[in-house]
Amino acid sequence: MLEVEPGIEGFVHISHVSDDRVPSLSPSSGAWKVDTTHKARVIGYFPFDGLLHLSLRPSILEQIFFQVSDVQVGELVKGTIKKLAESGLFVSLSGNVDGVVWPNHYADIALKHPSKRFKAGASIKCRVLTVNSERKRIALTAKKTLIESSLPIISRFEDARVGLVTHAVVFKVMDKGLQIEFYNGLKAFIPAREAR
C-alpha cells in the first residue's frame, strides 16, 4: 500500500513492484520497506475501495503513452515499425499503444516498393492524424511535409480562420474541385477555380 498524498492511497500488486520477478515483500527490509519513497504510475482505479491501482515497474514508468487518450492530434511521435501489411504500416508508439499509417500517408509521393523503406523493428517518426479513444485507434502520417511543417494544425472547425495558411492532403480530385483533409478527419472542398 502506498500513500500518494494525505487521504489518497494506492495499491501496488507484487507483480508491479519490479520488471524482475519478486517472490515476496518485507515491511522491514528491502527496497520496498515501510516509509520508503517511490515513483509510481497510475494504471487504474478501484472505485469500491477508493484506491488507485499503481505500478512501480520501470518499463511502465518509461512509457510515453499509457493509453490511446494520452496521444494528441497533431503531435510528433517516434515509434517502432511492427509490420508492413497490404492494408497499412503498423507502428508501436509505447507499450500497448499502437498506430497505423495508411498507404496514402507513407510519403509525400506514392511509393512503388514500401517494403524497401519500412522494415520491422526500425524507428519511424510520424505525426498523429486522428485519435479515436473509444475504438482505441490512432492514425499517423509519415509524409515529410506534414512531419516537418511549422504551419498551424487544423483539427476542429474552430481552428479554421479566413486567411490562415496550413497544409492539407488532397484525397479526391473531381471535375468541379478538390476534396482535402486536415487532421482529426476534418474535410474541406476547394472549387476548381480556386485550385491553381
Q: What is the pLDDT of residues 14-36, one digit of tens each?
A: 999 988 888 888 888 788 888 88
Q: In sequence order, what DSSP letters do the residues of 62-131 get, joined into one string?
A: T-S-SSGGGS-TT-EEEEEEEEE-SS-EEEEEETTEEEEE-GGGSSSS--S-HHHH--TT-EEEEEEEEE
User: Residue 36 contacts by C-beta under 8 Å, 6 or more apart in sequence?
Assistant: none
Is pLDDT of 59 > 90? Answer: no
Residue 102 and residue 133 in contact, taking contact as beta carbons nearer than 8 Å? no
Q: What is the pLDDT of residues 158-185, one digit of tens each?
A: 999 999 999 999 989 999 999 999 999 9
Among 45, 73, 47, which residue's Cα sits nearest to residue 138? 73
Residue 74 and residue 153 in contact, taking contact as beta carbons nearer than 8 Å? yes
Q: What is the pLDDT of residues 118-138, one digit of tens each?
A: 999 999 999 999 999 889 999
Question: If 0-12 CB within 10 Å is exposed, 13-18 middle and 19+ buried, where does residue 126 land?
Answer: buried
* pTM of the predicted model as reported, rounded to 2 decimal places: 0.73
Q: What is the pLDDT of residues 98-120, one digit of tens each?
A: 999 999 999 999 899 999 999 99
At 70 the pLDDT is 87
Confidence of residue 79 (pLDDT cuts 50, 70, 90): very high
CATH superfamily of 68-148: Nucleic acid-binding proteins (2.40.50.140)
CATH 2.40.50.140 spans which residues of the chain?
68-148
